[in-house]
Amino acid sequence: MSVPQVRQVSVEEKEKLVDSLMLAFSIDPLSRYGMPSPSQYLGGMRLVFSGLGEPAFRHGSVYTVDDFAGGAIWLPPGVKAPEDSLEEMPAFIEPSRAENFVNTLEAMDSHHPEEPHWYLNFIGVDVSRQGEGLGAALMKHVLSIIDAAGCVAYLESSNPKNMSLYERFGFETTARIQIGDCPVVHPMVRAAR
């Protein structure tokens, strides 16, 4: 098996990265809870990845592995998504689940570390390529950049299958978020190295 190749994604390649993440998150418990139908998911998550990812593209902190088999969107310290980036999102959320879903997202926001930190907004690998070490290659690449800067890293995991990957890279669970019947979300922090 060849060594996965990680590289930065340019703004011009944004749609390719979004397509990759669309495949990866099609089985994500939280995403599918809020957007269970295919049309809700496809419309809503395209907005999520594009809107929340925009500042990361501008700051050069979006990465792909093996030419879009997977990708990661990181927000560097002090960089946040514009507040209006998800204005159209409510149209795609399942109405019967909207309150729990939105409250979960708000609770996630409240668990970010106080100190400056890198935020892993999204990481995913095409479901047909999972299990090949591509997610680990993405994590290793960016964490080396974060470690060189001596920064904290933060993420939230809504997929229990991903917890061992994050723990292997030194992330520790700081809370357990569950509102109503919404899937559990685990905020996780990795101390500066």
CATH number of the domain to which 161 belongs: 3.40.630.30
State the Cα–Cα distance between residues 175 and 173, nearest whole angstrom. 6
Q: What is the mean pLDDT of residues 15-25?
A: 96
Domain count, the chain: 1
Contact 46, 16 (CB under 8 A): no
What's the angle, vertex CA 178, arms to CA 176 and CA 181, rounded to 5? 155
- pTM summary value: 0.94
pLDDT in the model for residue 6: 97
pLDDT in the model for residue 1: 61
pLDDT beyond 80 at 186: yes
State the Cα–Cα distance between residues 69 and 82, nearest whole angstrom. 27
Range of the domain at 156: 6-190
Helix (H, G, I), strand (E, B) or coil at 9: coil
Is 34 contained in some domain? yes
